[in-house]
Amino acid sequence: MTQTSAPAIHPTAIIAAGADIGAGVSIGPYCIVGENVVLGEGVVLHAHVVVTGHTTIGPRTQVYSFAALGYPPQDLKYRGEVSQLVIGADCVIREGVTMHPGTTGGGLLTRTGDHCWFLAQSHVAHDCKIGDYVIFSNNVMLAGHVQVGDYVIISGGAAVHQFSRIGAHAFIGGIAGVENDVIPFGMALGNRASLAGLNIVGLKRRGFDRNQIHALRHAYRALFAPEGTLKERVEKVAEEFADHPAVMQIVDFVRTGGDRALVTPRDLAGVDA
């Protein structure tokens, strides 16, 4: 076991030879840490935590009881390849959370950003890529290969279909079933989830000013208007709002595309942000 200073390890914890334990790490009762695990400076494993596989946890992240991090992915194509789970710095991982490493189909890597909160019983599947300052409420479930942008909030019990993308600053409502891509700043509700406008509360909390929100509202209405094709509407919005970075973030998201369609409003004729 490599140590940069003496961490605080409870005598009931099991730490495999080869585990890299950073300075100031605290490992509580009955925790298990595997031989290929890296725990950054100041990481706290509270009690009954299992960290296994090729898992790296960033500095100062806290992990609570019965979380299981780094077990093999739940993918029938997985054949034991060496793959990684990388968790960012200053995260909070609450009771019963599960996170799995990647597969060959997703670059052999699952990654979370910094300053994320994963509340009790939430799940991050193989090959997911999660941004910074993301919040998962209780029982949130991500299937494989999902991409989640910065500052996204996913409410309790929501489930996200594999290969879906959720753009930065989006809000997903409780018990939502998200089977397609959610635009940046969008608010998706229901099962199956549809857009219900923009995440105005989140925009205000993040410091977006009145003019930025006004531009986003107008762009949203134009993007999801009933007239023309989506491609035509995207190009019109891109031309009209070329000087608005937040709007162009939505345009770039749509243009980039993915394996899933877009989550749209249920009633395009009555679109309102």
Give the H or E element holding residue 26. strand 26-27
SS3 call for 6 = coil
d(CA 170, CA 237): 19
Whether residue 252 lies in the annotated active site: no
Whether residue 58 lies in the annotated active site: no
Q: How far apart are the first and last CA of the chain?
A: 55
Query: Active site residue: 46, 126, 145, 161, which one?
Result: 126
- Length in residues, the chain: 273
Query: Active site residue: 127, 132, 150, 181, which one?
Result: 127
Nearest to 100 by CA among 115, 120, 83: 83
- Strands 171-172, 194-198: pairing is unpaired
**Residues whose CB is less than 8 angstroms from the CB of residue 98 and which lie 6 or more positions away in sequence, other chains included:** 67, 68, 69, 71, 123, 124
**Treating both helix axes as pointing N-terminal to C-terminal, what angle do 210-223 and 245-256 enclose, rounded to 10 degrees?**
30
Whether residue 150 lies in the annotated active site: no
Query: Active site residue: 53, 131, 144, 149, which one?
Result: 144
**Assign residue 166 a region: left if phi > 0, alpha if psi is -120 to 50, beta otherwise?**
beta
d(CA 250, CA 168): 9
d(CA 93, CA 78): 25
Nearest to 167 by CA among 264, 253, 260: 253
Q: Radius of gyration of the chain from Cα atoms? A: 20
Nearest to 135 by CA among 147, 146, 150, 125: 150
Token pair of 72, please? Answer: 């093999």
Cite the active site residues.
Answer: 126-127, 144
